[in-house]
Structure 1
């Protein structure tokens, strides 16, 4: 597809950031729009490996399969409108005795802001949770208080010490560890609007449209200040321009992002910019300069308190019997939040399969959890291998000292 500049551009972006599911789905749509159904199907397989339940990927898979089978022509396959997807929240009932020490996260999507235009990208939310609702992760909370919340609550003290909450804050760490949830909790802590943006909300196939989309996002945030603007997968949006040979479109997107974050030329008062990435070492160096993403916080694997909270959340509305959460917590050192969700889902499917065979509902038991744990291993190993190389060979300025200390203490598997 090298003769198609749009596809070539998007494929290059996907090659740089293969873990960004929204970007892969956009590539599938482009292949399908052009009638390249075989290529689209190959990408569908990769997308569904990442997220087996992704509805858009399943829809595209069915349409492309029908077209290849010689069925009724599916017609132009147009991109799905970006779903106004609220951040996944924790809506717990009162915790049982065995997890009474865990504060139950609860956050409600209050819908779009009254000031938001129908043409605005994404959806503003009003989170009800705060950092007190995040189980465990005490070091992350401490760092957030020091880097962002403290200066905002005590502006006179911050001025006396020459510090400021201006600029951006970058949350980084292995995938599936709750960076989005923590960003929403920060918005709740500040009583601010929460504006989550993914790369699919920005990138467009038409020249100049991506830059306009990005400008529009910042304008929405400015109109609705105080606002936490959360940019997910920043490494895909702000990739190092030195590695973008022949990728003029993405270079201009990075330039636009730099311009929007420049506090010297833009009025971003009341807009708190949080970014999330699994690969901070791939972000353009200009985005790490003062006034932009000049502060980083490691959101690592969930600690024991966080694991207990996550397990309780994913089992709370399912029929269970004899579940020993503390026992599971001890067995899941090194698991991400996504891994823990997978364990709970797999255990539930085992109980459901037997219930379907017998015609009698059987609760999820520890035997089901043990069976799931025997098949599911921690998924963050590859991330830590990449991180180890960065810590050992690319940490000359000390940017990753926090990560180096974490890896030394925890020795992740």
Structure 2
């Protein structure tokens, strides 16, 4: 093989790095010339852009095969030296799980992948406030699920998804678990760390395995947390991450109704960073704003976080009125801070005392609402990037709240 030809093709590929057929031709010549290491680099570049490219996969396999030398003894026909394989690969690919013979895989899909399939014990009755959110959930999914004849009459499908957005700490994850508990359905929670992998094609496979697991356990609530990280706008991503977003779009579409009985709930603090294709009909086609808890909800949250603590003389209504715009997480931190005040005094005096109203009011002065920063960002979006009207509910809330 002429080195001059390879050098010319290498220069051409450098000038046109996105010309995949040219890159594959160069990789083929490199393999034939015994330059497998260089061929691997070019095949990997092709797979980064097209994970399913069979030619690149075959070239990768050929490049990784060691050349047999004349001195190497030939294996007898049909003989496999497993001991030699283990010695060569034992430190490279250690076993992830060990199962007894005949033990079935915990989920459908690849044998080395497992997902936590939960059964939620909480329901919407355990969610304080959020009346509008509960109403939307009832109409879009829970009602049709409970009334199959009515669902059939109106041709209502159980597929589709709901995108929950709002400031952090306002109960989006808790709400998703409550939906699963209300349905008596399986619950699977996914974060970006469950998907992303350094190896080419592995992230897409992980995503496919997860959806296969959800389909195999239908009815199932599949919760995609921080969807803006997994489904970020493709125009702002590198090619390797764009393929992950493409895989997510494919899985949300399903094949021949394959997602029936899988209700996808996604949550984000930054819906404006989510790829627009994820919000098309049949995917995450409904959007719901999850706001900080209202007065009754704040009272319920405060009572929940104080229920196992020694308290006396606390006016929940007064504390709830003083904590407007606080998130659920802020209220939990407020109760923790009040407990620290009482515990500190108990240690200093040597006499245990209860958590009282002054402790709670002092905690209110110390703990400030964390939602203010989010609403400052959201205001710009509602005012200057709301041509489609998708943030009308946010704009109405900001107007009512008079955020400047």
- Compared CA separation, residues 150 and 255, structure 1 to 2 (3 A): same
Q: Paired residue for 1:4?
A: none
In 2, Cα distance between the equivalents of 1:121 and 1:410? 45
TM (norm. structure 2) is 0.70
Query: For 2:140, which of 144, 147, 153 is the aligned residue?
Result: 147
Matched, 1:327 2:318: yes
Larger Rg: 2
Matched, 1:349 2:315: no
1:126–1:193 contact (8 Å) kept in structure 2: yes
- Compared CA separation, residues 360 and 249, structure 1 to 2 (3 A): farther
Residues 58-86 of structure 1 show CA distances to partners (whole Å, capped at 9, x for unaligned) of xxxxxxxxxxxxxxxxxxxxxxx9xxxxx
Tell me the SS of whatever aligns to 1:377. coil
In 2, Cα distance between the equivalents of 1:225 and 1:165? 11
Q: Paired residue for 1:87?
A: none
In 2, Cα distance between the equivalents of 1:142 and 1:167? 17
Q: Paired residue for 2:53?
A: none
2:379–2:403 contact (8 Å) kept in structure 1: no
Equivalent runs, 1:253-332 vs 2, <5 Å? 253-264=244-255, 267-332=258-323
User: Over aligned residue pairs, what C-alpha RMSD do you find?
Assistant: 2.1
Q: Paired residue for 1:361?
A: 352
Matched, 1:195 2:177: no
Residues 336-361 of structure 1 show CA distances to partners (whole Å, capped at 9, x for unaligned) of 00111111111111111222222322
Matched, 1:396 2:387: yes
Q: Paired residue for 2:79?
A: none
Matched, 1:371 2:362: yes
Residues 32-75 of structure 1 show CA distances to partners (whole Å, capped at 9, x for unaligned) of xxxxxxxxxxxxxxxxxxxxxxxxxxxxxxxxxxxxxxxxxxxx
In the alignment of these two chains, the number of paired residues is 299
Q: Paired residue for 1:249?
A: 240
- Compared CA separation, residues 209 and 397, structure 1 to 2 (3 A): same
Alpha-carbon offset, residue 115 of structure 1: 4.9
Q: Paired residue for 1:225?
A: 218
In 2, Cα distance between the equivalents of 1:152 and 1:266? 16
In 1, Cα distance between the equivalents of 2:155 and 2:398? 32
1:238–1:283 contact (8 Å) kept in structure 2: yes
In 2, Cα distance between the equivalents of 1:343 and 1:119? 43
TM (norm. structure 1) is 0.68
Residues 7-40 of structure 1 show CA distances to partners (whole Å, capped at 9, x for unaligned) of xxxxxxxxxxxxxxxxxxxxxxxxxxxxxxxxxx
2:158–2:261 contact (8 Å) kept in structure 1: no
Tell me the SS of whatever aligns to 1:123. coil
Q: Which runs of 5+ in 1 are unaligned?
A: 1-80, 82-113
- Compared CA separation, residues 393 and 164, structure 1 to 2 (3 A): farther
